[in-house]
Amino acid sequence: MADGLQLFLERIDTPIGELLLVADREKNLRAIDWAEYEPRMHRFLRLHYGEDGYRLEPAASPSHLSAAMKNYFAGELGAIDSLPVKTAGTPFQRAVWGALREIPLGATESYGKLAERIGRPTAVRAVGLANGSNPIGIVVPCHRVIGANGSLTGYGGGMERKRWLLEHERAQTGTLHF
């Protein structure tokens, strides 16, 4: 077993599939992924924390993180706004991920607009790559990023989930559909 960072895994059922939540001892959210992508989540953890840099074990009991996520899926969208997150990643990636949390509920933003907001207007592709490697989907809302023409673009959990998340947020906020 690794002697590094101790992480805890929770599994919750949502209307769009089983969701995996990974938190550290201080209750910071470190990763979120869908159950069918669990191997991808483990690859992410190894990439960011090293093969022996962490220990992952089941959480002993449900946490405030899983309660907040359940509330989000039940329509209380603001339940996840202040969840503590802690990520590895490069400074550029963390800047993109921080900017994602500033996209309002029910809103979408293009990769180009996101690049402008972080002061890197020519880094649209790099912003797209950072968005795609976001380890804490939903809470760090990469699903709110769309193509320049307003079209839905890739989402690590699948396009149907992206569409569902956007519709869920828009239904709760009264935002017009896209």
Annotated catalytic sites, by residue? 142
CA atoms within 13 A on the CB side of 103: 28
Strands 109-110 and 145-146: parallel
Three-class DSSP category at 40: helix
How many CA atoms lie less than 13 Å away from 1 in the CB half-sphere? 7
CA distances from 111 to 90, 148, 155 (A): 18, 7, 13
Is residue 122 within 8 A of residue 115, CB to CB? The reply is: yes
| Rounded (10°) angle between helices 124-132 and 91-100 | 80
Tell me the C-alpha distance between 158 and 139, whole Å.
16
3-state secondary structure of 90: coil
- What is the CB neighbour count within 10 angstroms for residue 60? 8
